[in-house]
Amino acid sequence: MSEVDVSKFEKKIEVRNIKEEDIESILELQKKCFPNMDPWKREHLESHLEIFPEGQFCVEYEGEIIGSCSSLIINFDEYDDDHTWDDITDEGYITNHNPDGYNLYGIEVMVHPEFRRMNIGRRLYNARKELARQLNLKSIIIGGRIPNYHKHADEMSPKEYVEEVEYHNIYDPVLTFQMKNGFTLMRINPNYLPDDDASQQYATLMEWNNVDYRAKTRRRFRTSFPVRICAVQYAMKKIESFQEFANQVEYYVDVAADFGSDFCVFPEIFTTQLMSFMDEKIPSKAIRRLTDYTEDYIKLFTELAVKYNVNVIGGSHFVLENENIYNIAYLFRRDGTIEQQYKIHVTPNERKWWGIHEGEGIGVFDTDCGKIAIQICYDIEFPELARIATDKGANIIFTPFCTDDRQGYLRVRYCAQARAVENQVYTVIAGTVGNLSQVENMDVQYAQSGIFAPSDFAFARDGIVGECNPNIETVVVGDVDLEILRRQRQGGTVRQLKDRRKDLYEINYKK
């Protein structure tokens, strides 16, 4: 008997998490699946992958994406009974995703029309169920379309239509499928998807309960999520060695730790203090010599963050890369890991005196106190950056700054407070004071460091959590509450994030 080569009959089908390179295929798939509805935008899917990558699935068949689904985690009890798709997804960006929530909420399932009847939808639903089990989530909730309802809308109400589908007297491709997959009806929501004419804008709220769910005492309704921040108003004064600089820095980290701080924040380019013991009068040459201390600086702050168990925003430092000098801020986590954020907008002064180059990329960094962003001095004066960081999930924006006069300082301060209001985030500014009279272009400093909140009843009066007295060497310590922030985004007096008119305008972030 001849041996049969079975490999030529094999077909490869795989359910996996979506990757960034799948985005274009998924956008094309949506056009085929929902030709009469508003499609995803690329930035929607990028936001999904940025915020909750493990909740986004696709089916790949012979190298082609033929199905996909998207989801997020929420505490469903916190949403209004008559919520819309926009409410539950933050208009498709899922920035309201709550990793400590109890419910997986499915926001879309797509199957290529040419590949239906292959159990593609069931595979995607099973992937969601397995994820719910792995994450020990209480249930999966979906707002399901009823796309055949428009054929019966003249003769029956949505409730009557759903009952007929439940009795198997009417077939609905979505509702029937969901019931077969173990979902039960919770209620019917009107005005769920404005462009879903086939469903007459109605949606069936369906739930699948995870029978393997086990309540844990650590998972309870969170009443607060306090984060303590220590912003250092750092004195620039002449020193004689790197060790003297290290001693001054460690003093402040120790102070932050004594106060039980989660973050200790240093100012922008405060490492220029090292130039006070260099015998170099030409600014551009002095800056290049300063970059020789980059490894010493990183080693020092990494050790301090671990030793004192504090996440340290290490101000910023000039770094030489490929013969170009960049202004880079570092996050030194207390677990010993490090992140970096380049200054994106360089001031005319930095360019003229030091030849600093502009960086790229708007980072949002995970910490044990939620997601944070760092925007160095001038960067906080460009509102697009803070909005992009917020859309990526940042709750706190740290701004190390260095200004030599009151006007420059006020630009930073006013813009930081504006960003807090616009984006419903906390902002923190930390600046330098004193003088380096012997260092060219670093003569005098002006600062009043502070911690700012959105302006609403739940937050500090005047939106100021705390601030230093101006122009003295000191620190400001204040508590911010991320749980209050999250609730106010959902139900504050004003809701700048939810109320944005994305139908009229949007920010296009070019990576």
Burial of 80 (0-12, 13-18, 19+ CB in 10 A): exposed
**Options 43, 108, 268, 467, the catalytic residue:** 268
Q: Residue 417's Cα: distance from chain center in Å?
A: 19
Residue-wise DSSP of 486-510? HHHHHHSS--TTTT--TTT------
Question: Among candidates 204, 201, 192, 198, which has minimal Cα distance to 33?
Answer: 198
Beta bridge partners of 400: 430
* Nearest to 128, CA basis, from 105, 101, 151: 105
> Does 46 qualify as catalytic in the annotation?
no
Q: How far does CA 228 lie from the centroid of its chain? A: 20
Structure tokens at 201: 């804008």
Is 343 an annotated catalytic residue? yes
Q: How far apart are CA 246 and CA 179, in angstroms?
A: 65
Ranges of beta strands (E only) in 349-406 are 356-357, 365-367, 370-374, 396-400
Annotation marks residue 281 as catalytic: no
CA-nearest of 209, 160, 232 to 451 is: 232
Which burial class, exposed, middle or buried, applies to 329 when counting CB atoms under 10 A from its CB (0-12, 13-18, 19+)? buried
**Helix (H/G/I), strand (E/B), else coil: 279:** coil
Q: Helix 42-51 vs helix 23-33: angle between axes, to the nearest 10 degrees? A: 120
Sign for the pseudo-dihedral over CA of 35, 36, 42, 44:
negative
Question: Given 377, 402, 415, 468, which residue is catalytic?
Answer: 377
Q: What are phi and psi of 383, to 5 degrees?
A: -60, -25
Closest Cα to residue 412, out of 467, 472, 476, 331?
467
Catalytic pick among 129, 343, 371, 392: 343
The 3-state secondary structure of 10-38 reads CCCEEEEECCHHHHHHHHHHHHHHCCCCC
**Other CB atoms within 10 Å distance of the CB of residue 154:** 6
C-alpha–C-alpha distance, residues 199 and 179, integer Å: 17
Count CA atoms closer than 13 A to 119's CA, side-chain side: 8
CA distance 206 to 143: 6
Which residues are designated catalytic? 268, 343, 377
